Structure 1
Amino acid sequence: MTSTDVKTDGTPDPDAPGGSRRPARTRGCLPFAGVCAVALALLLVGSRVGLLPGFGDLFGERTTDRSGPAVLKAVQDMSAYQAASGDFQVVVDLEKDTKFLPDAVRGTRTLYVGAGTVAASVDLGGVAEDGVKVDEDRTEAELRLPHAVLSKPALDPDRSYAVSKQRGLLDRLGDLFSDNPGSEQAVNKLAARRIAEAAEESGLTTRAEKNTTSMLQGLLGSLGFEKVTVRYADPSS
């Protein structure tokens, strides 16, 4: 070391040739910031896919309902008498796969329990002009009504649930970036169709017609009719 390499206070001069320069602090901050960004991304992805259980509550997730009020779109007068109602439950096993790809890569299988009700009613407003006959003494009456019909199944969201849902790798990756409401809609439609088929085979319409007959006989009997006959037929017959 020459005399020109030493400051006046006796310490080495870093600007002098051969002197040691301390690295800038900003160089160490950049790698540290990159590590923090990668760690944060891993936490977010891990909590989404379930790889790091327990970290989902770290960010204080909460649900806020900003839905608007329900709007009345139409009002319809009803003349049907709901005479019976059935409570049904069905287990739906829906599987979707792709050609030339194994299920582990692309495909879904959902096991879903659907619960709902179906009503059977008789349209009293659909009685034809000659559908009611009363004798001169007003002691006997004969009514001709249309057959009972079934309503569309009404699924109960509180009693319907997915038991299990298996998804391929590509489907899981797709769910990370977007929801798939179509899959839930598919099992709901299938459950409603199965419940409707069960209602048609349950004899619910026969029970509804029997209950309607009892109701009309009791109502007209209280008005003084001693004999009330109720018949059911198709509107075209």
Structure 2
Amino acid sequence: MDTKETHVAPERRSRTARTVGRITVTVVVTAALLVLVLRFLPVPGLGDLFGSRTHDRTGPAVLKSLRDLSRFEGAAGDYQVVVDLEHDAPFLPDGIRGTRTLYVGAGSVSAYVEMGGLGQQAVTVDADRTSASLRLPHAKLGAAALDPARSYAVSKQRGLLDRLGDFFSDNPSGEQAVQKVAVQRIGEAAKASGLEQRAERNTAAVLEGMLHSLGFTSVTVTFA
């Protein structure tokens, strides 16, 4: 019995491969164009076909601790800072290794007077209960707190190596560094704005009003 073998010419195989390649590229390009069309020119009934959805599977918050506060917050300030933070490598161009982030940080700082440690010597009342003197500690600044609703990154520039690092990182494009700088600058601004002195004036005014309502005609509040 004779056996016939079929041989495909190399030219024919090459043409077939090119044809398959063209078809594949055409399908990919067509799909990409279809996604763009549906994204920017939504068709009724198909507008959400390639859209994104958000699934909130967050569990309830768990109470970790409770603290009793004995402070009076006499003043608070809102601050905003524009952070321009850049990291680069000495011997590599910025396009290869380096990051630069422009970040707008908005937050608040409060000033308070701690009254939990006051002893009997802090309050002096005369025999007629018409005059009272209070000696309080100086006001202190609380920790600066960023407001995530009003803080945002304006721009981010990253080199090639940094982009690759973000690809394999658990926290790509983290903003901890710029947030830390923003908190520091907001705290410095609070110190320079006289927030502590304002808190002391407001605290003294509140205590004087309370004691006057109790019948005291002379009230003196000092901070030391």
Deviation readout 1:1-59 (Å, 9 max, x if unpaired): xxx9xxxxxxxxxx7548789xxxxxx89x959x859x87x99xx9xxxxxx9499675
The answer for the alignment partner of 1:175 in structure 2 is: 166
The answer for the alignment partner of 1:215 in structure 2 is: 206
* Matching residue within 129, 142, 146 for 1:151: 142
The answer for the alignment partner of 1:95 in structure 2 is: 86
* Matching residue within 112, 122, 130 for 1:131: 122
Tell me, yes or no, if the aligned pair for 2:74 and 2:202 is still in contact at 8 Å: yes
Q: Could you tell me which amino acid in structure 2 is paired with residue 227 of structure 1? A: S
Structure 1 residue 192, shift from structure 2 partner: 0.3
The answer for the alignment partner of 1:117 in structure 2 is: 108
Structure 2: runs of 5 or more not aligned: 9-15, 40-48
**TM-score, normalised relative to structure 2:** 0.79
Deviation readout 1:134-189 (Å, 9 max, x if unpaired): 00000000000010011101111111011111111111233334353573111111
CA distance in 1, matches of 2:221, 2:20: 87
Secondary structure of the structure 2 residue equivalent to 1:126: coil
Tell me, yes or no, if the aligned pair for 2:166 and 2:172 is still in contact at 8 Å: no
Deviates more, 1:113-122 or 1:167-176: 167-176
The answer for the alignment partner of 1:75 in structure 2 is: 66
Secondary structure of the structure 2 residue equivalent to 1:63: coil
CA spacing shift, 1:182–1:169, aligned 2, 3 Å: closer
Deviation readout 1:81-132 (Å, 9 max, x if unpaired): 1110001000101111123111110110001000000001111222232111
The answer for the alignment partner of 1:10 in structure 2 is: none
CA distance in 2, matches of 1:91, 1:137: 57
CA distance in 1, matches of 2:148, 2:194: 25
Q: Percent identity of the aligned residues? A: 58
Secondary structure of the structure 2 residue equivalent to 1:198: helix
Tell me, yes or no, if the aligned pair for 1:120 and 1:149 is still in contact at 8 Å: yes
Q: Could you tell me which amino acid in structure 2 is paired with residue 168 of structure 1? A: G
Q: Could you tell me which amino acid in structure 1 is paired with residue 101 of structure 2? A: T
The answer for the alignment partner of 1:200 in structure 2 is: 191
CA distance in 1, matches of 2:85, 2:38: 30
Structure 1 residue 67, shift from structure 2 partner: 1.6
Tell me, yes or no, if the aligned pair for 1:126 and 1:146 is still in contact at 8 Å: no
CA distance in 2, matches of 1:16, 1:206: 105
Tell me, yes or no, if the aligned pair for 2:101 and 2:156 is still in contact at 8 Å: yes
Q: Could you tell me which amino acid in structure 2 is paired with residue 105 of structure 1? A: I
**TM-score, normalised relative to structure 1:** 0.75
Q: Could you tell me which amino acid in structure 1 is paired with residue 135 of structure 2? A: R
Say yes or no: does 1:228 pair with 2:206.
no
Tell me, yes or no, if the aligned pair for 2:100 and 2:156 is still in contact at 8 Å: yes
CA distance in 1, matches of 2:214, 2:153: 53
When the two structures are aligned, how many residues end up with a matched partner? 204
